Amino acid sequence: MIDTMVAIKAVKDVDEALGVIGQFIQKLRSQPDIAARKLTEALDEITKTWQVIDMSIVKFLNLGFEKEALEKGSKDLLGMAGGQLRVEVDRGRGHCSKIRNIYDEYLDRWFSRVLNPKEYDVIKFEFMKLAFADMDIFYGMEEMAHQLQEEADEILEMVEAGENEEARKRVLSSRNKLSELQRNMSRTMSELHKIKSELISMAGFV
């Protein structure tokens, strides 16, 4: 059965980091830097992976709601069961070195120049959660992809055995947990987009 606790923790870690970035965004705006544009690139690495997970959850849950969806959605099931989702998430995890490089080359000096020492320490601590996302944040999403793959494997076996109604119930049994994860991801992605808009606007003055 699906357990979303690790993935939800990953979302909350990002949420905390974004809250700190948002807290200092106006102060950073007072001294815009090319690093603002680079920070949007770093945030994009997280957004892309979460969108892949979100779309996969939507496809998965639709298999339990739509009439004859399990038969019609066999390609989606085969893709998940075959590890396609895990490949996409792993690709995002592999981009974490890009996030770290952006921090080291651009963000650290910008933060240290604009913020006072206490503020700098706070934002650096939180941003390290993003810069080293491959060890915790992306791990949570990778674990979610792994669980969806295992569920897809078992549901595909049910469909092949003609147990469509049982397979449909199996999909729907995960609805509450997956919907909760989606709500958390949606809220945090909304904050991501808000901060990105601020940064893009800021970068226009550099």
Ranked by mean pLDDT, which of 61-65, 82-86, 115-119 comes out on top?
Answer: 115-119
pLDDT given for residue 122 in this prediction: 93
The region of weakest confidence among 28-37, 91-100, 178-187 is 91-100
| pLDDT at 196 exceeding the cut of 60 | yes
| pLDDT at 179 exceeding the cut of 80 | yes
| pLDDT at 103 exceeding the cut of 60 | yes
| pLDDT at 119 exceeding the cut of 90 | yes
pLDDT given for residue 74 in this prediction: 67
Mean pLDDT for 41-50 is 79
107/113 Cα distance (integer angstroms): 10
pLDDT given for residue 177 in this prediction: 94
pLDDT class of 92 with cuts at 50, 70, 90: low
pLDDT given for residue 42 in this prediction: 75
With b for 16 or more beta-carbon neighbours within 10 A and e for fewer, the 157-167 pattern comes to: ebbeeeeeeeb
pTM, whole model, 2 decimals? 0.83
pLDDT class of 114 with cuts at 50, 70, 90: very high
| pLDDT at 134 exceeding the cut of 60 | no
pLDDT class of 182 with cuts at 50, 70, 90: very high
Mean pLDDT for 53-70 is 80
pLDDT given for residue 138 in this prediction: 75
Mean pLDDT for 168-196 is 90
Return the percentage of the chain with pLDDT > 70, whole number. Answer: 88
Output the average pLDDT for the chain: 82
